[in-house]
Amino acid sequence: MRKTPRDGAESPQEQYDELLKRGIAVQKEYEAVGQRISQLYDEGKDDEADKLAEGSDDEQLKDSMTHYLQQRVELLRKIEKLKTIEDVFPRVKRETKEEKVKVDATELIRMFNAGKIGKDELRAAAHEMDAGAPEELTDKEMKAFAKARYELALAMGYKKPTKEEGWFGMERNGVKFSMKHFAFTSDYGITGDDRISKMGVSVKKGKGYDTVLNYDRGWDVACTDPEVQKEIDRAIAIFG
């Protein structure tokens, strides 16, 4: 069972530090499992490697990493009072819990098949669900979104931010980011509900960069350096 910081017993910063500590511990464990899987493949033990890669322990580690990341990002927005993409481009603002349409499609279908609701009720519920989805940005809005994102990155201390639409890159404190960044949030986001479905992070080493994080709609490489993870958390808090 996952633990969360004690409410009221710690300051937001202390809660963040504790979550970071726990998150890094899980990420190191995930890295160790990945190294073990690679070793098994190198030794020709493919069946054992596949079993370990597809096991529940691996999935639990990924789930825990996402859980801790989401909590840290939410705390960081409050602690640092960060300006976010929603502040500079309100058109893409998240819906509040009250605004979201609380309809379970699976349950609706089950009720329809069981004869508990009719076609008219099902159609009305489907319309309500569609109404709750954000309308896509127009081409003109996308250009404005990209411009606002670029200016936000500069204002928040990032160097070399991408001006164009689509993939977004930037750098800060020797940490380089590359992300597939969307206007609206989705379940594919790195925290389970944000705009970043793919993210690569590398740190400057000599004349080049070493990859410390890779997320592609799922975890591949996780960061094990707490100082770099703080930079990652901040970037997600602003743009995610």
Q: Give pLDDT tens digits along the chain (240 positions).
A: 555 555 556 899 999 999 999 999 999 999 999 899 889 899 899 888 888 888 778 889 999 999 999 999 999 999 999 999 999 999 999 876 544 445 456 776 877 787 778 776 766 666 555 545 567 899 999 999 999 999 999 999 999 999 999 899 999 999 999 999 999 999 999 999 999 999 999 998 888 899 999 999 999 999 999 999 999 999 999 999
Residue 81: CA count within 13 A, CB half-sphere:
0
Q: Are residues 170 and 206 in the same domain?
A: yes
Q: Are 21 and 119 part of one and the same domain?
A: no
Whose CA is closest to 150, among 88, 214, 82, 234?
Answer: 88
Q: What is the pTM of this model?
A: 0.80
Same domain assignment for residues 119 and 184: no
pLDDT value at position 67?
A: 97
Are residues 43 and 128 both part of a single domain?
no
CA distance 134 to 139: 15
Question: Where in 4-111 does DSSP place strands (E)?
Answer: none
d(CA 116, CA 109): 10
Of 82, 116, 132, the last residue of a domain is 132
**Co-location of 74 and 143 in the same domain:** yes
pLDDT at 133: 53
Q: Are residues 124 and 7 in the same domain?
A: no
Q: Are residues 109 and 169 in the same domain?
A: no
Mapping DSSP to helix (H, G, I), strand (E, B) and coil, where does residue 211 land? strand
Residue 108 sits in which domain range?
96-132
- 82 and 10 share one domain: yes
